[in-house]
A and B are shown apart, each in its own frame.
Chain A
Amino acid sequence: MTIFAAHILVVDDVEDNRTILFRRLQRLGYFNLSEAADGVAALEHVLTHRPDLVLLDVMMPKMNGIEVLEAIRAADLLEETAVVMISAASETETVVRCLDLGAEDYLPKPFNPSVLRARIGSVLEKKTLRAEVRRQLDRLERELEIARRQQLAMVTSDFDTVGARFDVFAAMIPAEEVGGDLYDFFEVEPGIVMVAIGDVSGKGIPAALFMARARSLLRAGVLQFRDLAGRMPRPSEVMALLNEELCKNNESSLFLTLLVGFASVAEDRFTFANAGHLPPVRLQGEGACAVVHPADPPVGVLADMVFTDHAFDFKAGDGLVLVTDGVVEAEDTAGAMYGTARFLAACTAGLDDGSARRIGDRLMADVVAHVGDAKAFDDLTLLVLCRRPS
């Protein structure tokens, strides 16, 4: 819309003044003009027609300009209808008061055509820009909301797909905006389950897209490797494959901390590679302990990186817990972190149940209880894998 199509309401109790303003505005190119001879009529017009701009005289009988301005402000219409006060040059205090009340500008009487053109033009342009920004923001928010839903739909919550020997559960509570956490699990072949958990540096759309890329590469990479090589890949090989892909065109230096592992029934082992992620927590008998090795650098940092495989026994009745740092670093209202000690204790507390879902639910409930009313800053993601007792 060009600013000349703007609907302008001229309010002045002196007919001559209205006529002059009308003529000047028409000469400047504005054609969508209305007039009101007093404050009451002006307010009535604003409420029913929502003009883009009101040129409002201060001194008027019945209802003066300040009262009209206050009423427009009270009706919360100042964003839609800009107000420019018309005042004698001597009324400085009144002008200041009107600007405080939300008037955009003022026009001194008598009217100077150049000042009139400049002020009205700038007020209308500002208004157009603001409306445009608002429209863009609304669009962006809508798109972000859709992106977030898509992202959540990308991680699977169908836990009955890992075969009878395993029991898996995972949960993700995203922070407000789209984030970069991911988890995945699937049965690669009978008796072998892949699990993965990761966290992309940063937040927002770039992190979410990077996460989506990683998530697709992970599954496809494992299956393709197996088909081409005729054997299961080692976790370090999966990691290297992802790293090569994600290092390409990564100018913004996004990276992904990732833990990928395979649990094998035949070997009674869990083999994993850890690219900068928190160590896995092993649940065995009565205890929970973090299996700490020096981590390799995250995925996407440096091409040609060599990753290391680690392993621990993973027999019938054993379990393991993977989390993102959003869990351990979750802060309560006082800023205190959830912390590793409480995290390990909460892992142990669920052990007697033996079910992945119960361990995961209890853990997540404990973190959520810790956070309380504090705003979650980071995504909270966890994955629990158990070998069913034979």
Chain B
Amino acid sequence: MKDIEGQIVIDMHSHNNKAASVEIQSSRPLQAAGILIGKDPHQALGMIPLMYNICGIAQARTSLLAIQHCLSIEIDPTMEIARDMLVLVENAREHLFRIFIDWPELLELNRDIHQMPSSIRLVSEFRQALFTDNKAFELDSRLKPDSVRLLELINQLERELQQKVFEISTRDWLSICDIDGLNQWMNECDGIAASAIHAISDRGWNSQGYSDCPHLPELDADDLLKRLNTSDADKFIAQPDWQGGLYETTALTRQQDHGVIPELTRGFGNALITRWVARLVELASIPQQLKQLLSQLERNHQPTIIDTGRRVGIAQTEAARGRLIHRVEIDQDRISHYQILAPTEWNFHPRGLITRSLGNISANSARQLELLARLIVNAIDPCVGYALRVH
């Protein structure tokens, strides 16, 4: 079966079970969006979720916003709130996949995939409760929010997170604000989340994988439009930098100021323990964020039109793995240029976050070194296909 996702190959050279150098090569198909050229916007919006099904909500949302921006179409803020809700539910699903599939395997913990919360299937139910005919990402989508049903779904997610992931309420878990509190939770609970964090801590790996790669700042839309319109835009998409700097865009980027993360950052920097807990902070916060968005859905909002006057549009979305950027040009009702800049390319830049994070790790054996490297890669980008070769 042809590997259509392509692959990232990480070569880690080691000496005495300590990383000495790291090289990354990528064969990811970055020009697949070129298939949209020549299509009309309606066709393109139908194709995006078929092609990019794994983060299909984030992709469809970003594509629609870029096309609306390009066509100077009125953007209904209430509709955007509904789409924000879907992106959050998709992020929850992606975190749950990784927690129940990857964490037990990586850390050799008891694995029962049938414990996976049924909330992983909530995306379609939220869609149905928000939009007419399940059409959430089309130019003629119509909002029909069923607030009672939406609250039921949010409560279901919150309940399952409490029962199957955190073992205390997500509110109580998010109120943990220091390392002592985190340790107390780990010692009192034995579910998958507490066991995984415990397993990292027990191995003495909390501080492993520190890097000096800063978080990606807000990117100005006009500056991005210009950068993606240069002659070396393909190179930028393959190995992005921003004004010469290399950046990370991950769950930690989003959660750096939330919950126990500032305290962990003070103790361990952006190392392994901070990254793994950041994903839990993000997951725990999703039900509350959904409730806030639900309350905003019920208010009136004034539509806005962003008129670029340039037949070019750009949009950015925080997908589970990091910031996703789409840029589109439309000429005579047909897409004439389409670019997608994925978070993976920031994080796996040959001189970027992964290379720097793996570059200073050490362990007691070659096997442990490889496991540690996998934990770090998984913490940064949990669903990209990669091959790790330790030499």
Do the two chains bind? no
Listed in ascending order, the chain B residues whose CB lies under 8 Å from chain A are none
